[in-house]
Structure formats: structure tokens, C-alpha cells
A and B are shown apart, each in its own frame.
Chain A
Amino acid sequence: MEKNHQRFSIFDLVPISICVIRSDFSVIFWNKTMEEWTGMPAKEMLGKNITMTCPGLDRPICINRLNSLFDDGIPVIFSSRLHKDIFPVKLPNGEPRIHKTTVSAITIEPDKRFGALFSVEDVTGLSRTMNDLLESRNFLKEIFNSIQDGISVTDLNHTIRFVNPVVEQKYAGGGPVTGRKSHECYFGASEPLKNSPSLRCIESRETESAILPAPPGCDAKWIELFAYPIKSPESGQVTGVIEYIRDVTVRRQIEEELFRAKMAAEVATRAKSEFLANMSHEIRTPLNAVIGAAEILSGTSMTKEQRQIVDMLSVNSEYLLNIVNDIIDISKIEAGKIDLENIEFNLKNLVEKVCNIFEVNARKKGLTLNRRIDPDLPLAVKGDPSRIRQVLINLVSNAVKFTTQGHISVSCGYEKDNKDNILFSVSDTGIGISGFKQEIIFKSFTQADTSTTRQFGGTGLGLAICRRLVELMGGRISVTSQLNKGSTFYFTTRFEHVQASKTASAPPSCKEGENQAAPNVTFKFTKPARILLVEDYKYTRLIVLHFLMDTPFELDMAENGAQAVEKFTDKKYDLILMDLQMPVMDGYSATREIRKIEKSKGLPSTRIIALSAFALSEDRQKSIDAGCNDHLNKPVTKEALFEMLAQYLPAEKVISRPAGI
């Protein structure tokens, strides 16, 4: 047995497998690491032909290369990856390893030829790291390739360094883009697009984005471009930009469609509101006739049973009228067709009158109705009395409606913190409103609990109208309530104050819409007068005729404006009741025509009272502008008609307690 060559024993200390062979392939040194890796002890290897024990080394290529090394002394490398089995690269325990073998020439005395020194490095760890890196790189690449948005990485000069396949296929016409300038490549521009996200993000060091028209020639029409700055981990300097390109063509189309749909819906809502307003108006005309007819009937002598039926008729038709009025109001508000008046009126009177209206009803239900009006309030203010009244009536009627025992308080005074505002409150001891429902009752078409509709009635529009009206008047409406204990509604408005001296001459504030007029005042007309009623609707004519039957007035009729003008030129009238909407010639034109005739003939001005189902101020204003003296809302009740006529014709006030209420 040969001894390990002493001069190589230092190699026993290195963690590299080393062996030395002579040119006859006999092993003269076999170090400790080699023993470990191959499982073959040195004493067995020394003197043996290496090709006998190391499979693969006996292949001609290896023999040739080793021979040239023995002759020329030129080192040789063997890669286990290329040669695979150049060395048994399985540890004795079966663990596979990757080795790299370098063979250097070494002189071995007294041989003439070189010997060979094999050094085998274990590169398994390195190789694994490489494989791991490769794997994670492939994984990242898979992700990049699977993303359906474009990703493009550029340096600070906008030169493209990397793109995913989507960019090449979708945005760059399929051509290779790496190395080209991004603006040139996508947009055919010689300079970067001004204010582009990429430029901005280099400046701001933040992610920037924009929606841009897509590059010409690609399927997309719009893209969203995000630019992320790449920051150096050491210095934090921006070293490049990641551009993320998303096709938002479909999204934009949808957005545009949604926008169009929204516009269409808004137009439809306005059209719906207008339709409702018009339809309600159409309903009101015949309804007025029903109400009038019931009123006329109730003035005649009837059996108890007949009277019950007539009562039913008038209660239900008025109820229906209220619903229709609500619909008209909300529709007008929603259609943006409401204008406010700004006239002087007596605020205290207004509150009193509203309370008077409900006094009787409250008493009938066993409720007390308290009113508390701050004596410091000015007598006269400037604003829209009919709207204030409408809101108050709504709140008080709700209070009465939803309260079965206890009391209702109506108060009116300055707001505590803001003396410019007047605060109205209506509180009751009724059913109350639960917390979350307090939020929604001011919205259109909402009642706190739809089940209450059946018990208490109503369209659910009242409070929505109140809110809109109060807001239109620059105020706020709110509610505090406890279930089963009661509710308090508050609203504020801002009025212009008017000097007290003017108050006396302030016009009476309750002309319009007063179908629930105070019951205890009637008028008796003392002198004959000639009245012309201009009205196209036969039944309204009939009703007015009935109302005036017991008066000393002589009533003449015209079916439209043209007839009215004709009659006016023939006869002299003390007063004209003028409907506004009529075929042939409407009330506005007829009024203007009459005023023209008066002027040309030097006649004294005839009183003209407009009759209209349009309960809104712009209609009133329109009729006043046309030359009317006053305005009476339909449905025309006997009380309202008489009160109006009493202003312009000689009359006596009769205080009485009418039966039936």
C-alpha cells in the first residue's frame, strides 16, 4: 500500500476535495474531504487507477483532456452540470450534491509528464441559491406576464428598461420596446408629454396618475397611467419610474352612460313632477265642483240620513283636495317652480288664525290647544304669509291628528341665540316618533311608519313640503320626540321687520286657501251689484250661482275671455270674477283687454278678482301683473267668496255660531 504523498498533506485541512494522480492515472494523494464525500478511504484509493473507481472519468473526452494536461500542463475544468457523472456526486448518505471540478497540472518528480491535481468544490449551496433566485425571478415573471395591465419600467431619461408582454402587444404595436424612449414608443412624441404622471412623479417623488387618451393605433381609447417613483434603497434618490397602464375605455364608457342615464333620470323626474302638477290641477277642477255642490246641498233642508251622506261627501272630497294640493306643492318644488312672496303681514294674527282653525277640532277630541306668542314680536313683518301658514297648518294638523289625549302647544318667539330669526314650535302629547324615523320623516313620500297611514291618513308629503318651504325661506326645521310621549317640531324663518305704524294698513293675511275659514263670521250684502263670472267650467259657474242666490247681486256669465270682453263692452259691471285658464282667450288676456278698453274710453277701473286653481304666488303675481285687483283660490268656498266680495262691495259682518261644526 502506498503512503499519502507528504507534500500534499496540507490539503487535508481544506474543505475542498483534493486528489493528485500521476500521468498513469494512479492516485498518489486523496485528502480527508475526498474520503468524506466519496466514502472511499485514502488507503484504498492510493495507487489505484482513478478511472476504475470514478465512473465517467474513463470516457474518451476526459482521458483526452487529462492527457493533454499531462503533456501541456494546461489546466482543465469539468463541470458536473455538463458532464453530469464526472465524479460520483452523491455523498455516502445518498445526498445529491453539485460539484465543480478543476484539474491543474502539477510537476511530480521524477516523472517527465505532468501530474494532475483535482480540486472538487461543492457548489450545491451556490447552485441552490441560484436556483432559488431563478425560481423567484420566474415567479415574478409569471406574475408580470399574467397581469392584464401594462407595466413599463423606465430610467430617469424615460428610456424603457423593462416591459411586460401586455405593453408590447397592446400599446406598442407588437414591436420590441426595450431601449426606446417611452414617449416616442407609445405616443410617437419627441419629448415627454407635458405634465405627464411620469414627469410629475420624478419631481414629487410620489405616485402620480392621470387618465389620458390611449396611444394611437391601439384598441383602447382611454388609459389610466400610474407612475410610481423607484427610489434607491441607499440614497432614497429617484432612479426610475414604473409606469402602470390600465385600459379604462370600458370604464369611461360606463361612466358616460351612467352620466347620460343620470341626466335622463333627472329630466324624467322633472317631467314626472310637471305631469303630477298638471294632472293634479286637472283633478282639482272637477273636485272643486264636488266640494261646492256638497256645500250647496248642506245649506238645504235634508233628513238626518241625507245630511250624514252629504257630510261624508264633503269630508272626503276635502280630504282628497288636500292630498292633491300636497302633490301639486311637492311637484312644483321638485320641478323648481316655486317662488316666494315678500309682502307685509301680521305675524301674530296669522298664528292666532291658524290656531283658531284647529281649536274646534282639538276640543272635539278632548285636547287643549295652547298658544304662546312672544309679546315682543313686531306686529308686521315682511315675508310669505301663505307659506308660513301652510307650514304651521301642516304641523298643527299633524299634532291634532296624532294626539289622542293631552294638549297641543303652539308658540312663536325670537330664537334664543339669534334675534334675526323667529322660532315657531308645535308640541303635542301624541304618539311620538322613534329616533331613526325622525331622520326620514322630512323626506318625500315617507311616513314614520307606513302603518300609520291607515290609522291617521295622509300622503306623507306634508313634512317634506314643510322642510322644503322652510329651507326656501332660509330657515331650518327639526323635531325632538319620544315615542308615546309626544313630539315637538321647530322651525325658524327670517323676516324683514316693518315699522309698527304700517302694521295697521297691512293687508289681511288670509285670503287664499282658506277652506277651513273661521266659522263664526259671515257677511250680509246690503246693496245690489252687477257681477260678471267668467268661467269655462259649467259646474263652477253653477256653484257660484248657488252661492250668490240669496244675495242682492245680479250675476252675468261668460264662458271664456273673449265673451267676457264682449259683455264688458256692452254692460257695466261692479265686479268681475275671472277664471285664468280658459279656452279661446285666457283670463290674463281678457283682463289686459278690459283694462285697455277702460283706459281708451276713460272709464273707471272695474274690480277684477282672479279665480285660479294655481295656488302659487307666481300665479297670483301673474294675475296682478295682468291687471287683476285680487286673487281667489279654487275651490271657491262660500266663506272665502263672501269675504273677498265684502272687501270690494258694501257688506255687513255677521257674527254667528254656525251649526254643523
Chain B
Amino acid sequence: MHISKENLDDISELVNIGMGKGAAMLNSLLESHITLNAPVITLVREADLKRALNKYLNQELFAAQMSFYGDFNGDAQLIFSHECAGKLVHALLGVGVETRLDDMDSLRAETLNEVGNIVINSIIGTISNELNLSMKFSIPCCMQGNFENIVGGDIAGTHEGVLHACVHFVVAELKIEGDIIMFLGIDSLRKLVEAIERYRKNL
């Protein structure tokens, strides 16, 4: 299935609005200045996801995941490399850099879980609100493992396409990179496109 450039631009727009809301929440939660942006959004086929995310192959990853269902169904993930996850936790919580990453698994899981919750909530919430869609959400969970465990886990193989956005967190002059991916089935994708087109007409 194909999404036109205009539609993708609109989705990018919505995602960036959501990002802004998420950043504001993180700012007030953590009392530090964070900017968030996702400059480009692409639609990739699930089979091509590995190529798109090849920077994450052969290393340990952390991800926050939420499922949503209603007018359209899917799963969203915010993925960080082990290293970026550590940096993010350091930046957000001010935990000493000398603390070995291994010692912080529980703290990191909790932090990423909440950051993921806020960021994904903001994006999906913005999309569903702006597009006037009715959706329900699962409670977020945090996952740890390699690319196959996380991206190729029990959610893989059933989707028509994956919306992919590279997210940049800028915290206290540190640039920390993560990726948001949204798995959508063919019906959901079609509904999303229809909703976008409806939305543009109403603008």
C-alpha cells in the first residue's frame, strides 16, 4: 500500500505536535529542558524494517511498547540502544556516569517505561484526537533484548506497513537518538489514510 507524500507530511506534522506535547510533559516531570523532534517519517514494509533499522542489529536494545485498538489497531515502540538508554537515564535522573549501566537495569526500565509512556501517549493521543478517532490503549511495558527479540517478537509478521520516525532527544546538550515505530495492519493503514484525508479537507 502506498501513502502519498502529502499524507505522510500530514502524519509527520501530527507526530511533531505530539512530540511537542510529550517534551512539555517530560520537561515538567524531570525539571530539565528537553526538546524532541522527529524530522522525517517514512513508511516501510515490515520485511524491510531490518534494513531501515540496521544500526540496531547485534546489540542490546531497550524499548517501551504500547498497543492500541479501536478505529485503528497497532503497536507502537520507542527503541533505544543500550548506550543511548544509559545516556538518557543519566541525563534525566542525573545518575552519576560512573555508575555501571548494568547496575541500573531496574531504574532504567522504569525510566524508559515512563518516558515511552509519555512520548507514545503524546503522539498517538494527538493523532487520535486530531483525526477524531476512538481508541483504547494497553498499559505500556518495557522490553530488553536484541533486535529479533524486540522488533521481531510476537508483534511481527502481521502488519502491512510500519511507520517509522527517528526521534532526537536533546537533553542538556546531549543528543540522544531513539526510534519510534508504529506497526499497522492493512485496514488500520487504510483507515489512517482516510482519516488524514478527511482531516485535510476540514482544515
User: Could you list which residues of chain A lie within 8 angstroms of chain B, going by C-beta atoms?
Assistant: 59-61, 64-65, 68, 71-79, 81-83, 102, 104-105, 127, 130, 134, 137-138
Contacts and interface: CB of A to CB of B under 8 A. Distances in A.
Q: Is the interface of A mostly helix, strand, loop or mixed?
A: helix
B25 A74 contact: no
- The 3 tightest CB contacts between A and B, nearest first, are A72-B125, A61-B28, A61-B29
B121 A68 contact: yes
B202 interface: no
Contacts of A102: 139
A82 B26 CA distance: 12
Contacts of A130: 106
Nearest to B70: A73
Contacts of A82: 29, 93, 110-111, 114
A104 B139 contact: yes
A59 B28 contact: yes
A73 to B, nearest CB: 6
Nearest to A127: B106
B139 A77 contact: yes
Contact of B28 (A60, A73, A75): A60
6 contacts: A59-B28, A72-B129, A75-B117, A82-B111, A83-B29, A105-B137
Contacts of B188: none
B140 A77 contact: yes
Given A60-B28, A61-B29, A65-B25, A75 B138 contact: yes
Contacts of B139: 75, 77, 102, 104
B121 A64 contact: no
Contacts of A68: 21, 121-122, 125
Contacts of A104: 139
Contacts of B29: 61, 82-83
B135 interface: yes
A77 B117 contact: yes
Interface string B85-115: 0000000010000000001001100110110
B34 interface: no
B26 to A, nearest CB: 9
Interface residues of B, number: 27
A73 B137 contact: yes
Given A79-B110, A104-B139, A74 B103 contact: no
A72 B121 contact: yes
B144 interface: no
B95 to A, nearest CB: 12
Given A61-B28, A65-B25, A138-B103, A74 B121 contact: yes
Contacts of A76: 117, 121
B118 interface: yes
Contact of B124 (A60, A74, A127): A74
Contacts of B111: 79, 82
Given A61-B28, A64-B24, A79-B114, 9 more contacts: A65-B25, A71-B129, A72-B128, A73-B136, A75-B137, A77-B114, A81-B107, A134-B106, A138-B103
Contacts of A81: 107, 110
B137 A74 contact: yes
A73 B107 CA distance: 27
Contacts of B21: 68
Nearest to A60: B28
Nearest to A65: B25
A137 B106 CA distance: 14
A399 B180 CA distance: 107
